[in-house]
Chain A
Amino acid sequence: MSLALDALTILAVSAGAFFFLAGTVGLLRFPDALSRLHTLTKADNLGLGLIVLGLLLQVEGPFAALKLIAVWLLTLLAGATVAQLIARTARPGGRPV
Chain B
Amino acid sequence: MADFLLAAAGFVLATVAVGLVRILRGPGDDDRIMAAQLLGTGGIAVLLLLAAAMSVPAAVDVALILAVLAAFITVAFAKGAARSEADRA
Contacts and interface: CB of A to CB of B under 8 A. Distances in A.
Size range of the chain B interface in the assembly: 35 or more
User: Interface residues of A: mostly helix, strand, loop or mixed?
Assistant: helix
Interface pairs A-B: 6 shortest CB-CB: A78-B71, A96-B82, A85-B78, A24-B19, A82-B74, A90-B30
29 contacts: A10-B4, A13-B4, A16-B12, A17-B11, A20-B15, A21-B11, A28-B21, A28-B22, A36-B22, A40-B38, A43-B38, A44-B41, A47-B45, A51-B12, A58-B1, A58-B52, A71-B48, A75-B41, A75-B44, A78-B67, A78-B71, A79-B41, A82-B75, A86-B33, A86-B34, A86-B37, A88-B78, A97-B78, A97-B81
Contacts of A58: 1, 52
A55 B82 CA distance: 39
Contacts of A89: 29-30, 77-78, 81-82
A9 B3 CA distance: 13
Given A23-B38, A36-B34, A97-B78, A82 B71 contact: yes
B60 A16 contact: no
